[in-house]
Amino acid sequence: MSHDSTPQRSQLKPEEIIVLSREIQAMIAAGVPLDMGMRNVSAGFENRLESAAVHIAERLEQGATISEACSEEKSIPPVFRAILVAGLSCGQSEAVLADVANLTEMQTSLRQSLKIGLIYPLIVIFLAVGLLGVVIATMMPRIASLYEQLHIEFPYWLSVANSFHLTVIHFATLGVFFLVTMSLLWRSGKLSPLNGLKWIPGVGNVINDFSIAHFSHLLSLLVTYEVPLPHALRLTGESISPGDLRTQTLQLADSISNGEEIDLAVERQTAFPKFLKWLLLIGHRDSDLGNALAQASNFYQDRARSRATWLSQVVPSTAVIAVGGTVTLLYALTVFGPLVNLWSKLAQY
């Protein structure tokens, strides 16, 4: 089968892009001909990654540059294609490939830590709900019968529990829902490591810091190697995941291309943090924009790493505490509440 059927191939996962990036980086550093190198290394890859590497090698053998070959490889997600092309455009492919690999590794590591930390609370939740269902289906009718025989008024929570009529279908539905939830959790974020976990408080801030760090680092490399600022901004914008930062970066590129003062254009971009705006303007005024952006990249990358470490430690613990407290309260209200009420009524006879 021809490798020209690229659009039908599934996209590479971040882990596979890391491997491909590292291999291209190593070949460039060693001065190995890329077409021959890609052919050789593809034999050791899994099917999807092997197909991508072979297709890139074919394009290189046809006379395409590595930049063109990567930009045409549809199995690489658009953001990562733009990153590779930008790095090759400024002659700093090694640094940019290392950057994307490192940032993706950090995000993937955080994703795995959060997912593993959330699996245990989810298992506890579903087991607790299942056991509570068993208690409601088996024990509650007997307690309710005892209340009726003694002509004692039902407490509120016993009335609520006794109103449920659980069957095997309900438990089967719970099991299916559990399996679907676990599958969605595990498969989320395959193409963009943390996007599937944005619902967790704090993850959005980590994603934003990673994006700003990547933006600053890539733009720093491009302007340092004298790529015109509007073009550098466009290349950088295309390498950012869809969102306000990407949109406003491309708008900034257009504004500067149309002759607008950079001070006014930057101030309008609400997706840019104040510290980044300040460094952009100071760097531009002092003709040292590359160094200023490099400082911004280090700052936001360090902050993202710190927030990621904190989240990976706090989220699982908080989830366990919240689940444990909720389950204990439910059992107390549903089981022990009616029993304690019954004992207190009997003590009055």
Q: For residue 100, what pLDDT band results from cuts at 50, 70 and 90?
A: low
Q: Which pLDDT value is given to residue 6? A: 39
215-252 pLDDT, tens digit each: 888 788 778 777 788 888 887 887 777 788 888 888 98
pLDDT at 295 over 80: yes
The pLDDT value given to residue 58: 86
The answer to whether the Cα torsion of 244, 250, 251, 252 is positive or negative is positive
Percent of the chain with pLDDT over 90: 0
**What is the average pLDDT score of the chain?**
76
The whole-angstrom separation of Cα 203 and Cα 207 is 6
Cα separation, 213 vs 17, whole angstroms: 19
Q: How far apart are CA 24 and CA 27, in angstroms?
A: 5
d(CA 151, CA 281): 80
Task: Bin 12: left if φ > 0, else alpha if -120 < ψ < 50, else beta.
Answer: beta
Q: What stretch of H or E contains 319?
A: helix 289-331
DSSP 6: G
Q: How many CA atoms lie within 13 A of 58 on its CB side?
A: 13
222 neighbors 283 (Cβ within 8 angstroms) = no
Residues 64, 49: contact at Cβ < 8 Å?
A: no
Contact in structure between 234 and 89 (CB atoms under 8 Å): no
pLDDT mean over 41-55: 80
Residue 190 has pLDDT above 60, yes or no: no
Query: What would the DSSP string read from start to end of 100-135?
Result: HHHHHHHHHHHHHHHHHHHHHHHHHHHHHHHHHHHH
Task: Classify burial at 105, counting beta carbons within 10 Å of its beta carbon; exposed 0-12, middle 13-18, buried 19 or more.
Answer: middle
Residue 5: pLDDT band (50, 70, 90) is: very low
Taking the complete model, does pTM exceed 0.75, yes or no?
no
pLDDT for res 310: 82
Q: Identify the band that residue 8 occupies on the pLDDT scale cut at 50, 70 and 90.
A: very low
pLDDT for the residue 2: 37
Residue 84, token pair as written in the block: 């590779």
What tokens were used for 159?
């009335």
- Give the tens place of pLDDT for each residue, 140-167: 778 778 777 777 777 777 777 777 777 7
Residue of 14, 62, 15 whose CA lies nearest to 34: 62
206 closest CA partner among 313, 316, 304 = 304
Alpha carbon distance 297, 291 (integer Å): 10
Mean pLDDT of 51-72: 81
Q: Which tens digit of pLDDT belongs to each residue from 283-293? A: 888 888 888 88
pLDDT confidence tier of residue 4, bands split at 50, 70 and 90: very low
More confident residue, 128 or 274: 274
Can you give the residue ranges of every domain in the chain?
Answer: 1-76, 77-349
At 308-339, the pLDDT tens digits run 778 777 877 787 787 777 777 877 777 777 77
With 80 as the cut, is the pLDDT of residue 59 above it? Answer: yes
Q: What is the rounded CA–CA span in Å between residue 211 and residue 217?
A: 10
